[in-house]
Structure 1
Amino acid sequence: MKVAVVRVRGTVNVDGRIKTTLDLLKIKYKNNCNVVELDDTYKGMINKVNSYVTYGSIDKETFKAMLLNRGEILSQNEPKDAGTEKINDKTIKSLNPKFNSVDEFVDAFFENKAKLSDINLKLPFRLTPPTKGFEKKGIKIPYTQGGALGNRKTAINDLLKRMM
C-alpha cells in the first residue's frame, strides 16, 4: 500500500533524532510530501515523527494529479540543482521507454513494478499550504481530535488536492 507523508510542522526546536528521520523520509520542510511503500521500516519512521506529519493511503487519481501538477524531473544534461522539467507523456517516454504514458507509470508504481527514481523524479513534492487551511484545531492536535497530525487514512487525498 502506498502512503503519502506530508510534513505539517516547521523546523524550529526539532529534536535531532526526529530531524534525521524526517530527512530520511525526504520531507525536510513544511508542506513537503513524499509517497512511500508502507513496510515495517517506514511504519517505524512514521510512528517516530507522528507529531510532525500527517499521512494516509493515497489513490492513483490523486497521485497522478500530484505528478502532473507538482512533479519535477531533474534534467539529465544539467548538474543536480540546475533545472527541472514538468512531467508529461513525452518526458516519461524519453526517460524510460518501458512507460508510454503517465497512466502506465502510475499503474506500474502502484503494483511495485516501478520506482519514482525510474523517471528521475525530484523529491520531495513541494506543495502549497492547503486552501482554507488545515483542520479547525490547528497543527498540534491529532486528526482524530479535530487537528491536522497523524493518520488520515483516505482523507489524505482531499488534503493533497487542496495543496496542489
Structure 2
Amino acid sequence: MIIEAYPSDDLIVKKKNREKNLTDYLLLEKKIKKKNNIFKKKKKIRIENIIKEYIDSSKKRIRIQKLARKEGKIYINKGPRILFVIRTKGINGIDPKSKKILKLLRLNNVHAGVFLKINKSILKILQYIEPYVAYGYPSIKNVRSLIMKKGFLKLGSRGHYNKISIANDVLIEQRFKKIGISCTEDLVKEIYECGPYFKFTNNLLWPFQLRSPKKGFGKKGKKKSVIEKGVFGNWEYSINFLIEKMI
C-alpha cells in the first residue's frame, strides 16, 4: 500500500509567508532605490545652484570694485562673519573664570575647535581667554573640510546626546529638513555665511576635535602670542594655515 505524503498546513502557511515577505522586501528595495535616485538628482541641482550663487556674488563684487575705482571711490567689502576658535592649552595654570568661559564655548579639550558668530560680546570674551586659544577667519574651503572630515552631529535629547559621524547627506536631511538644509553644501553655506539658522545648526554640530599640528607649534610654542611668532591670539586669515595642519 502506497501512502502519499502531503505537506502540512503549517508548512504551506510558512511558504506563503516567505513568498509574501520576499515580494514585500523587493518592493521596498525598489522604493528605496527610486527615492535615492530622486534625492541624488535634487542634491546635484542644489549644489549647482549654490556654486552659481557663489560665482554670481564674486562677479558682482568685482564689478562694484571696478565701478568704485573708476569714480575714484573705495569699495569696502563686508568683513568676515564667523570665527573659528581652537583651544591650545590644557587645564594647568588656567584661572576659574577662564575655565568657565572655555566650558561655555564648548572648548573642553585641547585642540577642540568651534565656529562662533562675530559680535562685540564674543570679541570681548576672546580677549579675556586669549592666552588659551587661537582664532581667526576660516575660508569656505576649510569650513567644508572641517564639516566633511571632522564633523559629528548631536542626536538624542539634552544630556543624552549621541555622537554620529556626518557620513552622508541623508543624515543631514533628516536632522535639518525643517530649516531647508538637505545636503553638506547647504550646511557649509549656512555656517560660512552665518545665515538665519547659524545658532541652531552650529549647536547641533559636535565641537571639532583636531590633531596636533604637523611639526608642532614651532620653537616658541604655546607660551607666546602669534605676534611674537607663537600660537595663541588672533591669527586673522592666517588661521587657515593652522587649520590645514591640524585637520
TM over 0.5: yes
Structure 1 residue corresponding to 2:181, chosen from 99, 121, 131: 99
1:3-152 equivalences under 5 Å are 3-76=83-156, 80-97=160-177, 98-113=180-195, 114-115=197-198, 117-118=200-201, 121-152=204-235
Larger radius of gyration: 2
Question: How far apart are 1:81 and its partner, in Å?
Answer: 4.2
Say which SS state the counterpart of residue 112 (structure 1) adopts: coil
**Which shows bigger deviation, 105-114 or 66-75?**
105-114
Assess, with a 3 A threshold, how the Cα gap between structure 1 residues 81 and 93 changes in structure 2: closer, same or farther.
Answer: closer
Q: Distance between the aligned counterparts of 2:236 and 2:163, measured in 1?
A: 35
Name 2:26's counterpart in structure 1: none
Q: Deviations over 1:20-45 (max 9, x none)?
A: 11111111221011110110111011
State TM-score, norm by structure 2.
0.61
Q: Distance between the aligned counterparts of 2:189 and 2:105, measured in 1?
A: 23
Q: Distance between the aligned counterparts of 1:45 and 1:63, measured in 2?
A: 23
The structure with higher relative contact order (CA 8 Å, sep 6+) is 1
Q: Quick check: 2:154–2:206 contact (8 Å CA) kept in 1?
A: no
Root-mean-square deviation (Å): 2.1
More strand by share: 1
Aligned residues: 164
Say which SS state the counterpart of residue 151 (structure 1) adopts: strand
Assess, with a 3 A threshold, how the Cα gap between structure 1 residues 4 and 132 changes in structure 2: closer, same or farther.
Answer: same
Show structure 1 runs of 5+ residues with no match: none
Name 2:63's counterpart in structure 1: none
Q: Distance between the aligned counterparts of 2:183 and 2:162, measured in 1?
A: 26
Show structure 2 runs of 5+ residues with no match: 1-80
Assess, with a 3 A threshold, how the Cα gap between structure 1 residues 75 and 81 changes in structure 2: closer, same or farther.
Answer: closer
More helix by share: 2
Say which SS state the counterpart of residue 13 (structure 1) adopts: coil
